[in-house]
């Protein structure tokens, strides 16, 4: 600080007139930077229902769990899922790309802010020149019989500044800040989407494991039925036709059991990619689905406007579009540029910083477009139309959010009832199979009745397993529709984006 003060004092001493003139121009520009043209931003209203229609008769979370926490997947109490979700935020490449996009947008805020300050340049130079004999440095005739060599040393420092008279720069900063906030919300939306996709794929994979367990046990049961049929055939009680039917049923079920490996592998590979790992080196141990959806705190619809990152991104995009109207409006007003320069120039380096070697200049200029064939007006109207587009996008995003919450609330409520009904159907099918098997053993009914009962039971058990998998996926998608554990208050502020890291 003392060195800077000494330098300023030296300049004021050596360039008193320049200092006074430049100070007057800077003060005048500073007084004129208070006006900001363009519309003032206000968040447009949206229709918000007082409550979710489909939340009736659905599980209500306890008061202590009224808000979804940040690591929302922990409510499912699955250590394997927790470990996978932790890898997502570290290794997923889509999240990394979205984070890089946010960092770039954050730097654009600093770029825009730099326009508030003067641009200062220095271009020191040393030039040597040789003059022919009989001429001086200006090229005029001289009595000198020998050539001369002239050295000119120059140290100019130039400054220029455009005062932000109409708020163009401040609107540019605001637009960049709003854009960076929208990018931050996009990053969180990408993160939430991938986290929920991992959870859905994980429960789908566990559903395949449950189906595998079911079909493995069914193959064993069908093998036992085949053995029984062969025994009855060998004793002359049954026919070879029944043996063929039992073999067909067993082989078809074995093929179906084998086919499950395709979809399970695809789910496993998808989870590997989402967690940033090569599919060739990634595997998840087989474990049947054994989970029920936890109570999810849905809250009220108005909360959704602050909890969903895609809604926050759409709202910040509106604010950005509004600032761009102000930038375009500022083009109707004149621009003022303040310039100043000072320095030293001498033919001798030893006398570079002497009083006679000084030079300075201070000036101001203004420019105003007198005719542009409607260009500025059309530009303003363009940005107004783009703002209206962002308003429509925002409202549509809100409507879509409400729809997704209602869809998954309805799915969970209806699936809960359907699973109870399906479990009853499985119990009835099991009872029918027991009766059909007993009657077949006694020779009362043909083996075809057993096959029919076995097929009915298997079909109902498959449906029950699929419904439970669908229920877990709906629970994850409800959490995603509610915004996960995110809140708009977590968006970075303009001050934090301008601050040095």
pLDDT in tens, 433-443: 999 999 998 88
Tell me if 208 sits within 8 A of 287, measured CB to CB. no
Number of domains in the chain: 1
pLDDT at 11: 43
- Over residues 108-121, the pLDDT tens digits come to 999 999 999 999 99
The per-residue pLDDT for range 166-208, each reduced to its tens digit, is 989 999 999 999 999 999 999 999 999 999 999 999 999 999 9
Of the candidates 410, 379, 424, the one whose C-alpha atom is nearest the C-alpha of residue 474 is 410
Rounded distance between C-alpha atoms, residue 57 and residue 468, angstroms = 19
The answer to whether residues 163 and 30 touch, using CB atoms and an 8 Å cutoff, is: yes
pLDDT of residue 3: 38
Q: Is 362 within a domain?
A: no
Pairing outcome for strands 148-161 and 358-367: unpaired
In whole angstroms, what is the distance from residue 154 CA to residue 259 CA?
83
**What is the mean pLDDT of the segment spanning 306-322?**
96
Q: Is 467 contained in some domain?
A: yes
Residue 497: pLDDT band (50, 70, 90) is confident
32 CB-near residues (< 8 Å, 6+ apart): 163, 165, 336
Which one has a higher pLDDT value, 358 or 148?
Answer: 358
424 is written with which tokens? 């009853």
User: What pLDDT is recorded for position 342?
Assistant: 84
Specify the pLDDT at position 459: 96
Report if residue 149 sits inside a domain.
no
Judge whether 357 lies within some domain.
no
Report d(CA 274, CA 278) in Å as an integer: 10
pLDDT at residue number 54 = 82
Q: Does 251 map to a domain? A: yes
Residue 450 within a domain: yes
**CB under 8 Å to 443, separation ≥6 — which residues?**
237
Give the residue among 161, 177, 97 at the shortest CA–CA distance from 499.
Answer: 177
Lowest mean pLDDT among 113-122, 336-345, 396-405: 336-345
Residues 6+ apart with CB under 8 A from 107: none
Per the structure, the complete domain to which residue 263 belongs is given by 35-118+165-333+377-498
Phi and psi, residue 225, nearest 5°: -65, -40
What is the Cα Rg of the chain in Å? 39
| pLDDT value for 9 | 45
Tokens of 365: 């200029």
Residue 58, in any domain of the structure? yes
Across the chain, what does the average pLDDT equal?
Answer: 87
How open is the CA angle 232-233-235, to the nearest 5 degrees? 65
Q: What is the pTM of this model?
A: 0.85
Q: Is 131 left (phi over 0), alpha (psi -120 to 50) or beta?
A: beta
Residue 322 in tokens = 């509004």
Structure confidence at residue 350 as a pLDDT band (50, 70, 90): low
* CATH code of residue 451: 1.20.1600.10
Domain membership of residue 156 (yes or no) is no
**431 is written with which tokens?**
């009872």
Q: Tell which residue, 260, 223, 270, 306, has the closest CA to residue 489.
A: 306
The more confident residue out of 196 and 155 is: 196
265 CB burial (10 A radius; 0-12, 13-18, 19+)? middle
Type and span of the H or E element at 474: helix 447-481
C-alpha 4: how far from chain center = 45
The string of pLDDT tens digits covering residues 55-103 is 776 555 544 455 687 899 999 999 999 999 999 989 999 999 999 999 9
Query: What's residue 63's pLDDT?
Result: 46
pLDDT tens profile 221-241? 999 999 999 998 888 888 899
pLDDT above 80 for 361: yes
What digits encode the pLDDT tens for the residues 370-395?
A: 998 999 999 999 999 999 999 999 99
Q: What angle do CA 419, 460, 214 make, to 5 degrees?
A: 100
**CA neighbor of 177 nearest in space, from 494, 496, 499:** 494
């Amino acid at each position: 600080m003392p060195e800077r003060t000494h330098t300023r004092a030296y300049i004021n001493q050596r360039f008193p007139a320049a200092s006074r003139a430049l100070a007057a121009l800077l003060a005048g520009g500073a007084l004129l930077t208070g006006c900001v043209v363009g519309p003032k931003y206000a968040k447009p209203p949206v229709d918000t229902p007082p409550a979710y229609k489909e939340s009736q008769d659905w599980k209500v979370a306890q008061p202590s769990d009224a808000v979804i926490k940040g690591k929302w997947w922990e409510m499912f109490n699955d250590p394997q899922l927790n470990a996978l979700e932790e890898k997502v935020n570290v290794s997923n490449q889509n999240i990394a790309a979205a984070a890089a996009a946010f960092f770039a947008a954050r730097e654009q805020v600093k770029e825009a802010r730099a326009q508030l300050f003067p641009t200062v340049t220095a271009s020191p130079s040393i030039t040597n020149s040789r003059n022919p004999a009989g001429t001086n440095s200006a090229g005029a005739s001289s009595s000198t019989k020998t050539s001369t060599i002239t050295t000119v040393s120059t140290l100019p420092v130039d400054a220029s500044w455009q005062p932000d008279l109409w708020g163009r720069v401040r609107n540019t900063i605001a637009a960049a800040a709003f854009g960076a906030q929208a990018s931050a919300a996009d990053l969180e939306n990408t993160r939430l989407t991938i986290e929920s996709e991992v959870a859905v794929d994980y429960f789908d994979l566990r559903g395949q494991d449950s189906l595998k367990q079911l079909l493995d046990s069914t193959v064993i049961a069908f093998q036992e039925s085949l053995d029984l049929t062969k025994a009855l055939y060998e004793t002359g009680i049954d026919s070879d036709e029944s043996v063929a039917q039992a073999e067909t049923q067993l082989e078809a079920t074995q093929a179906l059991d084998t086919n499950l490996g395709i979809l399970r592998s695809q789910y496993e590979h998808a989870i590997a990619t989402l967690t940033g790992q090569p599919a060739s080196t990634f595997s998840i141990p087989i474990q049947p689905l054994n989970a029920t959806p936890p109570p999810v705190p849905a809250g009220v619809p108005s909360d959704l406007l602050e909890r969903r990152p895609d809604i926050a991104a759409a709202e910040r995009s509106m604010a950005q579009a509004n600032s761009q109207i102000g930038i375009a409006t500022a083009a109707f007003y004149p621009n003022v540029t303040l310039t100043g320069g000072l320095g030293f120039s001498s033919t001798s380096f030893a006398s570079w910083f002497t009083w006679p070697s000084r030079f300075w200049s201070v000036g101001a200029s203004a420019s105003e477009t007198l005719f542009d064939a409607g260009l500025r007006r059309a530009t303003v109207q363009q940005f107004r139309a783009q703002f209206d587009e962002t308003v429509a996008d925002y409202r549509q995003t809100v409507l879509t959010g409400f729809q997704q919450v209602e869809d998954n609330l309805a799915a969970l409520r209806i699936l809960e009832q359907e699973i109870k009904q399906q479990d009853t159907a499985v119990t009835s099918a099991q009872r029918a199979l027991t009766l059909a098997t007993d009657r077949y053993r006694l020779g009362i009914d043909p083996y075809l009745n057993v096959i029919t009962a076995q097929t009915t039971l298997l079909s109902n058990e498959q449906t029950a397993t699929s419904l439970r998998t669908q229920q877990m996926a709906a629970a994850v998608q409800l959490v995603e529709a509610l915004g996960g554990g995110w809140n708009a208050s977590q968006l970075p502020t303009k001050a934090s984006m301008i601050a040095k890291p």
